[in-house]
Amino acid sequence: MSSNLADLYQKVILDNGLRIITIPMPHTRSVSLAFFLAIGSRYEEATLGGISHFIEHMLFKGTEKRPTAKEVSEAIEGIGGVFNASTGREMTMYWAKVPQGHLELGLDVLGDMLLHSKFEEGELEKERRVIIEEINQTLDTPDDWVGLLITQLQWPDHPLGRDIAGTRETISAVSRENMLGYLGRHYHPRNLVVSVAGNMEQSRVQEQLAQAFGGWGTKEKVGFLPAQPNRSGPRTKVGHKETEQAHLALSLESLPRLHPDRFVLRLLNALLGEGMSSRLFLEVREKRGLAYSVHSYIEQLADSGALGIYAGVDPERLEPALQAVLGELDRLRQEGVPGAEFEKTREFVKGRLMLQMEDSLSVASWHGRQEILDDQILSVDEVLARLDAVTAQDVQKLAQNLFQTPALNLAVVGPFPAQKEERLRGLLQLP
């Protein structure tokens, strides 16, 4: 999709505060609609951990108009559409992608789920068991479990450090009354953005949404507990599991979502561990043969952020793998990035972004996610220009700022005793 087309988006705000964003893509044969709510696990009390995710599941279990989960799913799948939802730390998203001409049905189904889900006790008890099995699966899956451990180290004793799905104890205790109360506090127009992209008539979509949601009463937004800086490490945690691989997760404090250097961070992360030509892939896998899977990632929140690295390695070679990873962090601090490598990385990031914009769901998500989380929308062209403005010197300067020993956290899952933590903490050093 050309960025000129993306610039044609329209934003309408209803009297109750609900924001509607429409992006025309007349060349497509699909329409995607996404409902974004500014609610997630960081808004939860400890005793209600996982309730945002639990509610997300329950919205698929039946409404007054479509009493069963089967009827809800058949409404979308019966026209060849797809729909799903996801819960994060700061946002919950419900979405559907339907063939051209079926947008009205898609809007009706998602709106019905949002406003008229029944939360029947029988369905709630079944879904409670399903989510507990989802939690059990995470704890049984080493690369998922190490992700939970590193999150706990990154944000200790804070809602951001909890599993989005909750715990077996909190999910077992959540009641229907808890859910309806939480829904009433957080599911309201001022906390909602609806983004629609594809082959549709913008004014017609705006009319339909105004008719469906215009009478919905609104409330004030609820805040969350601020995150604290995390540079008092290094911290380590070992989860014992008799596995064939050691699962290594390293993280450090990074930048919040709207930090001025966020575009520098995007290139730094790509250079470090995105794709098969990244430094971690070439050094840890291709050169040293220490891992099959190795990559880096960034997580950016309103007031905090993390840069993480994951690798699955032979337990006997855990320490060499850790030293190789730390070596790549130090190299980014000590040495300037060669021009050709830097330009290759920049084109990689820009190219992936432009390819992403060919899909109507990605376009709806691009606009809606920015609006709900940032209260602003940058066009693709604006982001490309910001990326073009980053220099190799900017990347090295950011690496020097971020990559410091007190900011390091390391979680490992594998066939190790708890005493391994002290040994690893001693290795977790940058010069």
CA 230 from centroid of its chain's CA atoms: 20
Same domain for 310 and 370, yes or no, is: yes
Q: Catalytic residue among 56, 127, 274, 371, which?
A: 56
Out of 152, 182, 213, pick the residue that ends a domain. 213
What count of other Cβ atoms lies within 10 Å of the Cβ of residue 195? 30
pLDDT of residue 431: 78
Residues 203 and 266 in one domain: no
- Does residue 223 form part of some domain? no
Q: Are residues 197 and 298 in the same domain?
A: no
Q: Same domain for 156 and 302?
A: no
Task: Classify residue 168: in a domain, yes or no.
Answer: yes
Query: Is 56 annotated as catalytic?
Result: yes
With left for phi above 0 and alpha for psi between -120 and 50, is residue 62 left, alpha or beta?
left
> Which band of pLDDT confidence, cut at 50, 70 and 90, is reported for residue 7?
low
Pair 44, 158 in one domain? yes
SS3 312: strand
What does the alpha-carbon distance between residue 152 and residue 163 come to, in Å, rounded to a whole number? 8
CATH, residue 65: 3.30.830.10
Examine residue 145 and state whether it is found in any structural domain, yes or no: yes
For residues 188 and 85, membership in a common domain is answered with yes
Structure tokens at 385: 């220009």
| Residues ≥6 apart with Cβ < 8 Å to 150 | 237, 249, 250, 251, 308, 409, 410, 411
The overall average pLDDT reported for the chain is 95
Q: Are residues 116 and 194 in the same domain?
A: yes
Closest residue by Cα to residue 302 from 12, 43, 21: 43
In a domain, 222, yes or no: no
Predicted pLDDT at 3: 41
CA atoms 116, 121, 123, 124: torsion sign: positive
Categorize the per-residue pLDDT at 230 as very low, low, confident or very high, splitting at 50, 70 and 90: confident
Query: What pLDDT digit, counting tens, does each position of 268-310 carry?
Result: 999 999 999 999 999 999 999 999 999 999 999 999 999 999 9
409 and 254 Cβ atoms separated by less than 8 Å? no
113 lies in a domain? Answer: yes
Those residues with Cβ within 8 angstroms of residue 333's Cβ, 6 or more apart along the chain or in another chain: 396, 399, 400, 403, 430
Tell me the residue range of the domain where 343 lies.
235-427
134 in the same domain as 22: yes
Does residue 224 fall inside a structural domain? no
Give yes or no for residue 4 having a pLDDT over 50. no
Cis peptide upstream of residue 26 (ω within 30 degrees of 0):
no
Q: How confident is the model at residue 96 (pLDDT cuts 50, 70, 90)?
A: very high
pTM: predicted TM-score of the whole model, two decimal places: 0.95
Whether residue 92 lies inside any domain: the answer is yes
Quick one: 300 and 334 in the same domain?
A: yes
Q: How many domains does the chain have?
A: 2
Asked if residue 297 and residue 199 are part of one domain, the reply reads: no
User: Are residue 170 and residue 207 in the same domain, yes or no?
Assistant: yes
Whether residue 126 sits in one domain with residue 262: no
User: Across the strands, what pairs with 310?
Assistant: 249, 295
pLDDT band, residue 2 (cuts 50/70/90): very low
